[in-house]
């Protein structure tokens, strides 16, 4: 029986991800996906209370859907986090803010996100800077 070792790594985990449990992560393709109002490389925006284990499971679960799109051969994961406030699930609000901005810009949710319509309301604008989050999302516009 022949064996083969792939020349490229399937996944790389950095120490920084292991220091935070409550995070927001973005699954990002190398090529942009078509949305109603433009293109973005973002395929999924999710949240985790379990750190790296949840992200690996989520990437594996959504890989078929992402790779089924024409030209999609590689996916990266980016981490976003914010300062914690006792008694407030701030990472959940950060995810909601990212989804609200994504929906406002592209008039649809990311490829693998299925539910909800979000608005960047007063509560979110009091917690996060619109321009800072918009700049983060803009980093994944169009092609690389």
Q: Is 3 a domain residue?
A: no
Q: How far apart, in Å, do the first and last CA atoms of the chain sit? A: 40
Q: Is 54 a domain residue?
A: yes
Q: Is 7 a domain residue?
A: no
Q: Is 58 a domain residue?
A: yes
**Which domain covers residue 39, as residue numbers?**
17-138
Q: Determine the Cα angle at 14 with ends 82 and 102, to 5°.
A: 45
Q: How far is Cα 106 from Cα 60, in angstroms, rounded to an integer?
A: 25
pLDDT per residue of the chain (144 residues) written in tens, 0 to 9 = 776 667 777 777 777 666 666 788 899 988 899 999 999 999 999 988 776 777 888 888 888 888 888 888 888 888 888 877 788 888 888 999 999 999 999 999 999 998 877 888 888 888 888 899 999 999 988 755
pLDDT tens track for 103-133: 999 999 999 998 877 888 888 888 888 899 9
Closest-CA residue to 28 (of 44, 49, 16): 44
CA distances from residue 41 to 34, 47, 89 in whole angstroms, order as listed: 9, 18, 27
Q: DSSP alpha helices (H): ranges in the chain?
A: 15-19, 52-67, 90-106, 122-127, 130-138
Find out whether 64 and 83 touch, Cβ atoms under 8 Å. no
Our count of domains for the chain comes to 1
The pTM of the full predicted model, rounded to 2 decimals, is: 0.84
Q: Is 62 a domain residue?
A: yes
The pLDDT value recorded for residue 69 is 84
The pLDDT value recorded for residue 102 is 94
Q: Is 91 a domain residue?
A: yes
Q: Is 10 a domain residue?
A: no
Q: Is 6 a domain residue?
A: no
């Amino acid at each position: 029986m022949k064996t083969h070792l792939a020349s490229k790594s399937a996944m790389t985990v950095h120490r920084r991800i292991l220091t935070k449990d409550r995070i927001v992560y973005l699954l990002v393709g190398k090529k942009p996906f078509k949305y109603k109002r433009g293109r973005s490389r973002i395929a999924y925006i999710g949240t985790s209370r379990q750190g790296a284990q949840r992200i690996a499971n989520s990437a594996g679960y959504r890989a078929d859907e992402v790779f089924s799109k024409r030209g999609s051969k590689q996916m990266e994961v980016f981490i976003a986090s914010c300062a914690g406030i006792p008694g407030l699930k701030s990472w959940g609000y950060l995810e909601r803010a990212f989804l609200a901005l994504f929906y406002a810009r592209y008039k649809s949710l990311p490829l693998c996100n299925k539910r909800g319509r979000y608005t960047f309301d007063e509560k979110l604008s009091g917690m996060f800077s619109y321009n800072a989050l918009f700049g983060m999302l803009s980093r994944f516009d169009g092609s690389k």
